[in-house]
Amino acid sequence: MPETGTSLSHIAELVRAAVPPMHPGGRPIVAGVGVTAAALRLLTGRGGGLGLLATLGTAAFFRSPHRTPPPRTGVVLAPADGTVATIAEVVPPDELDLPRVPCPRVSVFLSVLDVHVQRVPAHGRIREVEYRPGAFLSADLDKASEDNERNSLVLDTQDGHAVGVVQIAGLLARRIVCEVRAGDEVAAGETYGLIRFGSRVDTYLPPGASVEVAVGQRTIGGETVLADLSPCAPRRDR
């Protein structure tokens, strides 16, 4: 019997390692889908299989897998899973407390199949967080950075740099969750937010940053290195 108990415990550990946990922000939605599916099954006697698939699919959408940041300093990590949609030199939006000069912006597009939690791109302190309502244009459009509903934050890194990260809603997204506040100390790779359904995350890097990804490349939030900040001069005004 002890061997059986040990085997079951080992199997349970393997299952926990293989099945990522769910972000708390998704639990009410998953519960709602499950209850609706169960009610339809009771009322009509049909749709049990489809209801189960819908519930499991919704739970998978809100998965929050464990990530291990690479052992590098002076870099910015991808804040989200997805595909690099654009890399451009742009002036940061007004809501970001960053210099009004062109800087590298890396935009990552998240499809409905991607992990939708966002992660802190570097060790540091949150300087500011600002939410702005807006439209729900397709997140792969360049003007979505200015027109869509979005939540912005500025992170002062331990190396003295300032990085902006903007969560942008898409066609299907109607809810942006941000769990950090100004003054919070954060670590690279920690989850800090969630965008429900298709969306985009923009990262504004200090001028002179060396971008290490290419358009079309897949990123893994909290693990993929977006840029090396070693060529950048640290901010002296903060």
List, by residue number, the catalytic residues.
Answer: 199
User: What is the Cα–Cα distance from 223 to 140, expressed in whole angstroms?
Assistant: 23
Q: Transcribe 65-114 into DSSP letters.
A: ------S-SSEEE-SSSEEEEEEEEEPPPTTS-S-SS-EEEEEEEE-TTS
Other C-beta atoms within 10 Å of 70: how many?
13
- Using DSSP's 3-state secondary structure scheme, residue 95 falls into coil
User: What is the Cα–Cα distance from 117 to 30, expressed in whole angstroms?
Assistant: 15
Query: Which of 167, 159, 135 lies closest to 238, judged by CA?
Result: 159
